[in-house]
Copies of this chain bind each other. A is one copy, B any other.
Amino acid sequence: MATFTRFETFDVRFPTSRELDGSDAMNPDPDYSAAYLVIGTDADDGLTGHGFAFTIGRGNDVQVAAIDALAGHVLGRDVEQALGDMGATWKSFIDDSQLRWLGPEKGVMHMAISAVVNALWDLKAKRAGLPLWDLLGRMSPEELVALVDFRYLTDALTPTQALELLRAAEPGRAQRRQELLDGGFPAYTTTPGWLGYSDDKLVRLAEQAVAEGFGQIKLKVGADVHDDVRRMRLARAAVGPDVRIAVDANQRWDVAPAVEWITALAPYDPWWVEEPTSPDDVLGHAAIRRAVAPVKIATGEHVQNRIVFKQLLQAGSLDVLQIDAARVAGVNENVAILLLAAKFGVPVCPHAGGVGLCELVQHLSMFDFVAVAGSRKDRVVEYVDHLHEHFVDPVRLEGGNYLPPTAPGSSAEIRPESLQHHLFPAGAAWSGVPSARSAAGGLEELVDEQVAG
């Protein structure tokens, strides 16, 4: 019998704001960061599980503290038992009534549960000798349903309905698994579209994306409507009429301004408009969608949990549902969300980028294709060409498609030397950097310098 003996957290930050990579209307200067967790056991196999919550700099220490608050729920626990019933294990984190008060099921504490749950799945997949997508794709409908907490979902999806969905998709699994191994899963790229980039850089990167085989790109919008119309026009000219261009407002608008802005961009045929308003605003999204149809509305990277996703689907708020691998409470809750999306017939196109989010979320889309939705039509996983070199099993793109990972695990493991180099504030990546960078105060000046420089 093995028990968990290691629960170690790391405050890892990448100084991405130096190049304005990842800049958008809401997040002008992110330092992509991970509140990173390694769990280990006293088993002879020496395997470790890796998970993380993604943040954009300041507050990553708070996120680490939240993960640490869960250590007592893991250390000393029986490994086979915990990994053997991941539904019960998931609930043991969610049902800590004292910690629940800090959410419930949202924000820092929920993302902390995500890190722990995903680290357990990483370990479980490594022990099975399978990549996570394939581990999930081999589980029976009954086993998958047992992963899901249906609390607060049963007015939209019952366990019985979920089981029916999964059983209906079962006969095609083997064939789709083979299609995936042969052709991969479609990606789209956000690399050309960051708000901090010049027009020239935008056009150059958009053309490059098409040359690389991407069928969809994405532009950040929302700071200035005239700039956005110009950038959209330039991008459309660069990629031609057949490549899809999604735009992403990162929550900048209220309902009425969203409708005006989207109407201004509509002549350039945006494929979807992402995060037009607050991720909390189910009814606001629904109102915007009604007003701008047939332009598609997408959201989800900041949606806090399955309960809000349920309502977005019930209210007809979206055309495209965007899961994030590490904001809701990990694999289990994302399985619930994939099932909800399938029930409502809405395609899932995950958010990714940041650090490690592409590595992690590709597994969920591939599982969705194999065992839940059963289709790649209009499904794409976001791709951003940042920071993959820091991962042990980085994503592999070919002709605009993610190739399925073959290494056991969830691909979330950061290389040991990268981890050490980017520890905050002691790592070499942060030496000589003004401490103001990821601390409050003095920040505006630094950003101004960069924008000017």
List A residues at the B interface (Cβ < 8 Å): 26-31, 55-59, 61-63, 65-66, 69-73, 76, 96-111, 150-155, 251, 254-256, 277-284, 287, 302, 304-305, 307-308, 310-311, 314-315, 438-441
Q: Chain A binding site: helix, strand, loop or mixed by DSSP? A: loop
Nearest to A436 among chain B residues (CB) is B72
**A441 & B76 in contact (Cβ 8 Å cutoff):** yes
Nearest to A279 among chain B residues (CB) is: B104
| Interfacial chain B residues near A439, Cβ < 8 Å | 72
Asked if B151 and A254 make an inter-chain contact with CB atoms under 8 angstroms apart, the answer reads yes
14 contacts between A and B (CB under 8 A): A27-B100, A59-B99, A62-B102, A69-B440, A71-B440, A102-B108, A104-B251, A153-B254, A155-B254, A280-B307, A281-B307, A281-B310, A282-B282, A282-B283
Query: Nearest B residue to A151 by beta-carbon distance?
Result: B254
A302, closest chain B residue (CB) = B104
- Which of B59, B284, B304, B314 is A106 in contact with, Cβ under 8 Å? B304
Contact between B56 and A98 (Cβ–Cβ < 8 Å)? yes
Q: Are A440 and B70 CB-contacts (below 8 A) given A278-B307, A311-B281, A311-B282?
A: yes
Given contacts A109-B108, A155-B287, A254-B152, whether A59 and B440 have CB atoms under 8 Å apart is no
Give CA–CA (A61, B451) in the complex, Å: 38
- Please tell me how many copies of the chain the complex holds: 2
CB–CB A59/B284 < 8 A: no
- Please, which residues of chain B bring their CB within 8 A of the CB of A154? 254-256
Q: Known contacts A100-B26, A102-B107; decide if A69 and B76 are in contact (CB<8 Å).
A: no
- A59-B101, A61-B69, A66-B108 in contact; A315/B30 too (CB < 8 A)? no
Bound-state Cα–Cα, A150 to B278, Å: 12
Which residues of B lie under 8 Å from residue A308 when comparing CB positions? 280
Known: A26-B97, A62-B66, A281-B311. 16 other contacts (CB 8 A): A55-B101, A56-B97, A58-B69, A62-B65, A65-B65, A73-B440, A104-B302, A107-B108, A107-B109, A152-B277, A152-B278, A154-B254, A280-B304, A282-B283, A283-B314, A283-B315
Contact check, B62 vs A62: say whether CB atoms are below 8 A apart. yes
Residues of B within 8 A of A287 (CB): 155
Q: A65-B62, A106-B280 are in contact. Are A96 and B440 (CB under 8 A)?
A: yes
Is B254 in contact with A98, judged by CB distance below 8 angstroms? no
Give, as a whole number of angstroms, the nearest-CB distance from A304 to chain B: 6
Residues of B within 8 A of A314 (CB): 283
Q: Is the CB of B55 within 8 A of A59?
A: no
**6 A-B pairs with least C-beta separation:** A107-B107, A72-B440, A108-B108, A58-B98, A57-B98, A155-B255
Select from chain B the residue with minimum beta-carbon distance to A258: B155
Q: Give A335 Cβ to nearest chain B Cβ, in Å.
A: 19
CA distance A27 to B59 in the complex (A): 28
Decide: B304 and A58 in contact? CB cutoff 8 A. no
> Closest CB-CB distance, A201 to chain B, in whole Å?
22
Residues of chain B with a CB closer than 8 A to A251's CB: 104
Query: Which residues of chain B are within 8 angstroms of A152 by Cβ–Cβ distance?
Result: 254, 277-278, 280-281, 284
Most buried by B among A56, A62, A69, A71: A62
Contacting pair B103 A107 (CB below 8 A):
yes
Contacts of A27 on B, CB cut-off 8 Å? 97-98, 100-101
